[in-house]
C-alpha cells in the first residue's frame, strides 16, 4: 500500500470519518434485536443520571464553590516553578506551523487539557478535520441543550496555503556582475545558548507567504518603509520603478512595507534589524552582544509573515470562509507579488556605503534619494502548498450554556519562540491548571468557557481566523468576550489593550494582582516599569525610540487602555464579528535587553537570563487573565461598561475633526457636517446610562428574590448502616417523580407548542418500550428520564441550586423549558381527567416534591401531591396511600403544586422574570460591540467590518478609530466620501442605541 504524502512528509494525517459498517444478514439482525430488548428490559437504566468520571455512581458531586472563593483559590494555583517547567518543555525545540513538531505540541496541549480538566481518555480520535460532522458538533454542540455536561477537548485541523523556504541568495554585484559581497543569511547560533546552537539551521531565515522570484537592480534606502517615508523618498525625485528597496523593521507591519514598495513599482525589498531601535542597550553604548551580554546579537534575523494584514488575515486563498481540505481556492490578493528577504544587521552594513551622500556623521543610513552604483541580486524561492495546521480546543460547560467566554493563545513559533508565543502558552498553561483546580473543588462556571491553542498565527493569524470564519454566526450569537495572550513576557513593562467596554474590568483586576517584582505594588503599576540597563550619560539612543514611546502615550485614551489594531488572534473576533476583546503582555523598554523577535535567539536561555529570570511575570499575566476569565464567566451581570465605550466615542470624533482641518482647505472642511453623528453619539450615551440603571436593578431584584428563598434542607439520613453498601444508582431509596413542573414523560417538553427534540423523543420512546416489556415479564417499570434542565447542568437529579450563579442558570433553564413566565402548558387533549384511581385501581403513594423544586419552610409544607402525581407504583411492595379525603377535584397530572414561601405560594413566575431580566441586560451588553459591525465593511478592505476600530490601512499593528471615516479623510481626501461614511456611521450608532435601550415589558414593578 502506498504511503500518503502526509506520512511521507512526517506529518500525521488528521483522523478521517468513520466508514459505514457493512450490512448484516437478517437472522443476525433478529438475534441482535432480541438481545437488545432483553438488555433494555433487565439492564439499561434509562432513568439514571449522567455519570461523571470523578464521582461514584449515584453520589452527588462536590458542593458548589462560590464565585469569590473560586477567585481566591484560583490565585493560589499559578506559580513560578510550574511556569518555568512548562517553558522548558515548550520552548526548547522548533515548532513551525504545519511541522511534525507543531503537531506533536498540539497533542501535548490536548493532553494538558484532558489531564487538568478531568477529561477521560476517549477510544475515538479527538482530532477532526475542519468541516466534518465531528468538528462541527465539537463547537456547535457546546451551546446545545443536549451538549456535553462535562469538559471536552479536541483538535480541529484546517488546510491553509503556507510556504517554506527552498533557496535564498543576496549578493552585491559590481561591474560585469562580479560578486562583491555574498550575504550568508544565517544566524551564528552561538553554542553558549544551547538551543540556539542546536537549531540555528532548523528554520532558515525567510518571509512567510513571500513571493517566489528573483530581482537584480540598483537599491535605495527607505527608512521604515511607511507611507510617509515613501512620500519623502519620492519627493527627492528618485524613480523607484525597478529598484530594490532596503528598509528597517519597526513602526508598521512588515508586509505593508513591501506593499508600499510594490505599489511604487519596486522590484524587491530587503528588511533588516537596526540597533537604533534598541534604546540604550547597544554594542555602541558599551554592552556586550548576546549571548555574552544584553545587546542584540548582530547576526539575529527577524523572520515573519509579509501578508498584507490590513487587507485581510488568514489563508490568502479563502478570504471570508474556512480553509477546509476541499475548499474552493481563490488567487490571494493579500500577499506580495515581488520577492523579499529578511537580513541581519551584520549583513545589512555591507550595503550602506553606497547610500551615503557625504553628509552623514555615522554609519547609519538616512533617506536622501541616493541610488546605489552597484546592483543587488535577490533570490527567494519557496515551496507553497496546502499545509495542515491544528487548533487545540477545550471547553468547560457552564450553567448557562449559550453564553461563552473565549480565552486563547497561539502555539506555533518561527523557531523556538520562548517569548513569542511560548511565554503566552505558559501563562495559558497556568490558567488551565487553575481552572482544573476549581473544577476539582466543585466549581462550575456560570457561563461556558472555551480555551484555544491556535496554530498558524505567525503566518497571518491563520488558525484563529479560519476558526472564526468557520463559526462566525455561532460566535456572534454566543461569545461574550475574547481574552487573548500572545507574548506574555519579553521585557519589563506591562502593556494592555482592549475594547473600551473591558477597560474598567481590566484595571480593577490588575489592581488586585501583586506586582511580579516589587512588593507592595500591583500589576497596574507595572505599566510604567523600566528595564535594568539604564544607560550611560553619553549613550546614544535613536530618536525613533522616543518617538515611539511618545506616540504610545499620546494615543492612550482616558481609560488608559489602548484600542486594539491587529497583529494577534483577537483580530477576527473583534474586527470582523464584533466581540469585545483584550490583549496583554510584558514588553521591552529602551533600558531592557533587546528582544530577539522571531529569531533563533528568542530562546529559553534569553528568557531566563534577561526577560523574566524569576518567571513571576508569566505568573502575573496568568493571574490577571484568569481573573478576567472568572469575572466574565461568573458575574450575574456581564462586567462590560458600555457607558465608558459610549463616552470614548467623543474622543474618536474629536480626532476625526482634527483630521478634517489638517487635510482639507477651509472651503472644503466647512462643508463637512458632523452634527448628526455627534447627536447619535449623545443618544447612545443617554441610552447606555439607562442600561446602567437597568442592569443594577435587574441584579438587585434577582438577589432580593434569592435572599427570600429558604436555605437548602438538611441532607437526608444515610442509607443503611455507616459501613453499609453505597446507595442505589439514583442516590435515593425511593423512586423520583418526574423532575419538572409537569409530570409525564412527554408533556414536560410540550411547552407553548414546542415539540420535543429528536433525542428526547427517542429516549421517551425507548422508555415506553422498556416499561411495557418489564411489565410483560413481571418486573416493575422504571421512572422516566430526568428532563433537560437537569442534563444541562450535568448534575445528579438531587441537584439543588445554592450559589446565585446556579440559581440564575437553573431558572433560565426552567424558563427555556416551560416558557418565559413559568406557566404550565394546557393539557395536550381536552380538559383534565375526572378524579379517580388510575388504570389498574391503585393509587400511588404521596412523594416529596421533585428535587429540582425549591425547598419550603418546614412550618409551611406544601399540600401533598394528588392522584396521578407519579405514574407508577412505588418500589418495595408498600401498600399505596389512599387518595386525600374531602372530595376535592385533584390537579391534573401535569400540574403539581409548586413549593411555597412561608405563608404564601412560591412566586416562581417572578423568579423566572427576574432571571429573564438579567438575561436581557446581558444580551444588550454583549451586543454593544456587535453594533459597530457593518456588513459592507471598510472601503477597499471589506473583510474588516468594524466601523469603530480597525488596524490602520498602512499600520497593520496600530489601531485606527472610526477607520472608514478616517481613511476617507486622510487617504481619499474626498469630501463626498467623508459625507457618505459619516452618514453610514451615524445610522449604525443610532441603530445600536435603539437595540440596547432597556425594554420595560416582561417585568412589573412590585
- The catalytic site residues sit at 457
- 3-state SS, residue 589: coil
Secondary structure in 3-state letters for 699-710: HHHHHHHHHHCC
Q: Measure the CA–CA gap between 334 and 295, rounded to whole angstroms.
A: 35
DSSP 40-99: HHHT--TTPPPPPTTS-TTS--PPPPPHHHHHHHHHTS--HHHHHHHHHHHSSS---TTS
CA distance 360 to 353: 11
Pick from 621, 56, 632: nearest CA to 398? 632
β-bridge mates for residue 562, sequence order: 497
Strand 904-905 to 900-901 pairing = antiparallel
| C-beta neighbour count of 116 within 10 angstroms | 21
What pairs with residue 405 in β-bridges? Answer: 449, 481
Q: Which residue has the cell 477532526?
A: 128
Q: How far is residue 776's CA from residue 38's CA, in Å, rounded to a whole number?
A: 12
Compute the distance between CA of residue 951 and CA of residue 985 in angstroms, rounded to an integer: 17
C-alpha cell at 85: 517547567
How far is C-alpha 757 from the chain's CA centre?
30
The cell numbers describing 254, all together, are 512588515
How far does the chain reach from its first CA to its final CA, in angstroms? 76
Torsion sign (Cα): 913, 736, 789, 626: positive
Distance (Å) of CA 358 to CA 352, 363, 874: 12, 11, 103
Q: How many CA atoms lie within 13 A of 451 on its CB side?
A: 31
Work out the angle at residue 654's Cα, subtended by the Cα atoms of residues 648 and 656, and round it to the nearest 5 degrees: 110
Judging by DSSP bridges, how do beta strands 152-158 and 127-129 pair with one another? parallel
Neighbour-count burial for 700-729, b at 16+ CB within 10 Å, e otherwise = ebbbebbeebbeeeeeeeeeeeeeeeebee
Reduce the DSSP state of residue 436 to 3 states and report it. helix
Give the number of other CB atoms < 10 A from CB of residue 493: 18
Radius of gyration of the chain (CA): 33
From residue 799, alpha-carbon distances to 60, 91, 711 in Å are: 7, 44, 14
- What does the alpha-carbon distance between residue 630 and residue 483 come to, in Å, rounded to a whole number? 11
Asked if 599 and 301 count as a contact pair (C-beta separation under 8 A), the reply is yes
The candidate with the shortest Cα–Cα distance to 660, out of 671, 669, 650, 648, is 669
13 vs 843: CA distance, rounded Å? 62
Question: 933 in helix, strand or coil?
Answer: strand
HSE (CB half, 13 Å, CA atoms) of 905?
A: 8
- Residue 776 φ then ψ, to 5°: -65, -35
Contact in structure between 854 and 785 (CB atoms under 8 Å): no
Q: CA 810, CA 912: separation in Å to the nearest integer?
A: 10
**Is 996:642 a contact under the CB 8 Å cutoff?**
yes
Strand ranges (DSSP E) for 141-264? Answer: 152-158, 161-173, 179-182, 207-208, 213-221, 244-248
Inter-CA distances, 560 with 495, 555, 642, Å = 10, 9, 16
Whether the ω angle into residue 291 lies within 30 degrees of 0, i.e. cis, is: yes
The Cα 76–Cα 430 span in angstroms is 11
Amino acid at each position: 500500500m502506498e504511503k500518503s504524502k502526509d506520512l511521507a512528509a512526517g506529518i500525521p494525517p488528521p483522523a478521517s470519518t468513520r466508514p459505514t459498517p457493512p450490512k448484516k444478514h437478517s437472522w443476525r439482525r433478529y438475534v441482535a434485536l432480541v438481545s437488545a430488548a432483553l438488555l433494555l428490559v433487565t439492564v439499561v437504566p434509562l432513568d439514571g443520571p449522567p455519570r461523571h468520571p470523578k464521582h461514584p455512581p449515584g453520589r452527588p458531586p462536590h458542593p458548589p464553590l462560590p464565585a469569590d472563593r473560586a477567585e481566591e483559590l484560583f490565585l493560589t494555583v499559578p506559580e513560578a516553578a510550574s511556569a518555568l517547567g512548562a517553558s522548558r518543555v515548550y520552548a526548547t525545540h522548533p515548532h513551525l506551523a504545519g511541522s511534525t513538531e507543531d503537531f506533536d505540541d498540539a497533542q501535548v496541549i490536548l493532553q494538558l487539557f484532558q489531564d487538568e480538566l478531568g477529561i477521560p481518555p476517549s477510544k475515538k480520535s479527538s482530532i477532526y478535520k475542519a468541516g466534518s460532522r465531528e468538528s462541527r458538533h465539537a463547537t456547535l454542540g457546546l451551546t446545545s441543550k443536549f451538549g456535553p455536561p462535562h469538559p471536552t477537548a479536541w483538535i480541529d485541523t484546517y488546510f491553509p496555503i503556507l510556504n517554506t523556504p527552498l533557496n535564498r541568495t543576496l549578493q552585491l554585484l559590481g561591474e560585469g556582475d562580479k560578486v562583491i559581497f555574498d550575504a550568508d543569511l544565517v544566524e551564528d547560533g552561538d553554542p553558549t545558548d544551547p538551543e540556539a546552537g542546536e537549531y540555528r539551521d532548523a528554520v532558515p531565515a525567510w518571509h512567510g507567504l513571500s513571493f517566489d522570484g528573483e530581482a537584480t537592480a540598483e537599491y535605495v534606502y527607505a527608512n521604515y518603509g511607511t507611507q510617509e517615508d515613501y512620500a519623502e523618498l519620492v519627493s527627492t525625485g528618485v524613480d523607484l520603478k525597478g529598484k530594490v528597496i532596503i528598509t528597517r523593521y519597526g513602526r508598521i507591519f512588515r508586509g505593508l512595507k513591501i506593499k508600499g514598495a510594490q505599489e511604487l513599482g519596486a522590484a524587491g525589498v530587503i528588511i533588516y534589524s537596526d540597533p537604533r531601535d534598541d534604546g540604550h542597550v547597544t554594542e555602541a553604548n558599551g554592552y556586550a552582544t548576546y549571548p555574552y551580554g544584553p545587546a542584540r546579537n548582530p547576526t539575529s534575523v527577524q523572520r515573519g509573515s509579509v501578508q498584507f494584514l490590513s487587507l485581510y488575515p488568514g489563508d490568502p486563498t479563502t478570504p471570508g470562509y474556512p480553509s477546509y481540505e476541499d475548499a474552493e481556492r481563490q488567487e490571494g490578493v493579500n500577499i506580495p507579488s515581488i520577492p523579499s528577504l529578511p537580513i541581519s544587521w551584520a549583513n545589512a552594513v555591507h550595503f550602506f556605503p553606497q547610500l551615503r551622500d557625504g553628509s552623514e556623521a555615522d554609519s547609519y543610513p538616512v533617506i536622501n534619494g541616493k541610488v546605489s552604483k552597484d546592483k543587488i541580486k535577490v533570490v527567494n524561492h519557496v515551496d507553497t502548498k496546502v499545509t495542515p495546521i491544528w487548533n487545540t480546543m477545550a471547553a468547560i460547560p457552564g450553567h448557562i450554556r449559550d453564553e461563552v467566554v473565549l480565552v486563547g493563545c497561539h502555539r506555533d513559533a518561527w523557531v523556538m519562540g520562548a517569548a513569542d508565543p511560548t511565554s503566552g502558552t505558559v501563562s495559558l498553561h497556568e490558567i488551565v491548571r487553575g481552572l482544573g483546580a476549581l473544577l476539582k473543588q466543585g466549581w462550575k462556571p456560570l457561563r461556558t468557557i472555551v480555551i484555544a491553542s491556535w496554530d498558524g498565527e505567525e503566518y497571518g493569524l491563520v488558525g484563529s481566523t479560519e476558526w472564526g470564519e468557520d463559526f462566525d454566526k455561532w460566535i456572534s450569537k454566543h461569545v461574550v468576550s475574547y481574552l487573548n495572550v500572545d507574548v506574555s513576557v519579553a521585557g519589563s513593562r506591562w502593556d494592555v489593550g482592549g475594547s473600551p467596554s473591558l477597560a474598567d474590568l481590566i484595571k480593577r483586576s490588575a489592581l488586585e494582582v501583586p506586582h511580579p517584582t516589587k512588593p507592595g505594588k500591583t500589576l497596574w503599576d507595572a505599566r510604567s516599569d523600566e528595564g535594568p540597563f539604564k544607560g550611560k550619560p553619553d549613550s546614544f539612543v535613536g530618536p525613533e525610540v522616543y518617538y515611539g514611546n511618545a506616540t504610545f502615550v499620546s494615543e492612550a485614551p482616558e481609560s488608559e487602555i489602548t484600542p486594539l489594531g491587529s497583529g494577534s488572534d483577537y483580530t477576527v473576533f473583534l474586527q470582523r464579528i464584533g466581540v469585545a476583546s483584550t490583549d496583554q503582555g510584558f514588553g521591552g523598554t529602551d533600558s531592557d535587553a533587546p528582544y530577539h523577535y522571531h529569531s533563533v535567539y528568542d530562546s529559553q536561555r534569553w528568557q531566563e537570563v534577561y526577560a523574566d529570570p524569576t518567571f513571576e511575570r508569566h505568573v502575573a499575566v496568568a493571574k490577571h487573565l484568569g481573573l478576567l476569565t472568572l469575572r466574565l464567566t461568573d458575574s450575574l451581570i456581564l462586567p462590560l461598561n458600555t457607558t465608558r465605550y459610549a463616552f470614548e466615542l467623543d474622543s474618536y470624533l474629536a480626532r476625526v475633526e482634527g483630521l478634517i482641518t489638517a487635510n482639507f482647505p477651509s472651503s472644503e472642511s466647512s462643508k463637512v457636517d458632523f452634527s448628526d453623528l455627534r447627536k447619535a453619539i449623545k443618544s447612545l450615551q443617554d441610552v447606555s446610562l439607562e442600561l446602567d440603571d437597568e442592569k443594577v436593578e435587574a441584579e438587585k431584584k434577582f438577589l432580593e428574590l434569592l435572599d427570600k428563598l429558604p436555605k437548602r434542607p438538611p441532607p437526608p439520613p444515610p442509607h443503611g448502616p455507616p459501613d453499609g453498601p453505597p446507595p442505589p444508582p439514583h442516590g435515593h431509596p425511593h423512586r423520583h417523580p418526574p423532575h419538572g413542573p409537569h409530570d409525564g414523560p412527554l408533556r414536560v417538553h410540550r411547552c407553548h407548542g414546542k415539540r420535543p427534540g429528536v433525542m428526547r423523543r427517542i429516549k421517551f420512546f425507548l422508555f415506553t418500550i422498556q416499561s411495557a416489556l418489564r411489565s410483560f415479564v413481571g418486573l416493575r417499570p422504571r421512572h422516566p428520564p430526568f428532563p433537560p434542565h437537569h442534563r444541562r447542568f450535568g448534575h445528579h437529579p438531587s441537584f439543588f441550586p445554592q450559589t446565585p450563579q446556579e440559581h440564575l442558570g437553573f431558572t433560565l433553564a426552567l424558563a427555556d423549558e416551560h416558557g418565559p413566565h413559568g406557566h404550565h402548558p394546557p393539557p395536550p387533549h381536552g380538559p383534565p381527567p375526572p378524579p379517580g384511581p388510575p388504570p389498574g385501581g391503585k393509587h400511588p403513594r404521596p412523594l416529596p416534591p421533585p428535587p429540582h423544586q425549591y425547598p419550603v419552610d418546614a412550618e409551611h409544607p406544601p399540600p401533598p401531591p394528588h392522584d396521578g402525581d407519579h405514574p407508577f407504583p412505588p418500589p418495595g411492595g408498600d401498600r399505596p396511600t389512599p387518595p386525600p379525603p374531602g372530595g376535592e377535584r385533584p390537579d391534573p397530572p401535569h400540574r403539581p403544586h409548586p413549593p411555597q414561601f412561608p405563608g404564601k405560594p412560591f412566586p416562581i413566575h417572578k423568579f423566572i422574570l427576574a432571571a429573564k431580566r438579567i438575561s436581557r441586560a446581558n444580551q444588550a451588553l454583549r451586543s454593544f460591540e456587535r453594533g459597530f459591525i457593518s456588513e459592507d465593511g471598510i472601503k477597499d478592505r471589506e473583510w474588516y467590518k468594524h466601523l469603530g476600530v480597525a488596524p490602520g490601512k498602512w499600520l497593520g499593528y496600530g489601531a485606527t478609530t472610526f477607520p472608514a471615516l478616517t481613511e476617507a479623510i486622510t487617504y481619499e481626501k474626498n469630501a463626498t466620501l467623508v459625507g457618505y461614511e459619516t452618514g453610514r456611521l451615524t445610522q449604525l450608532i443610532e441603530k445600536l442605541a435603539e437595540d440596547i435601550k432597556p425594554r420595560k415589558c416582561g417585568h412589573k414593578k412590585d
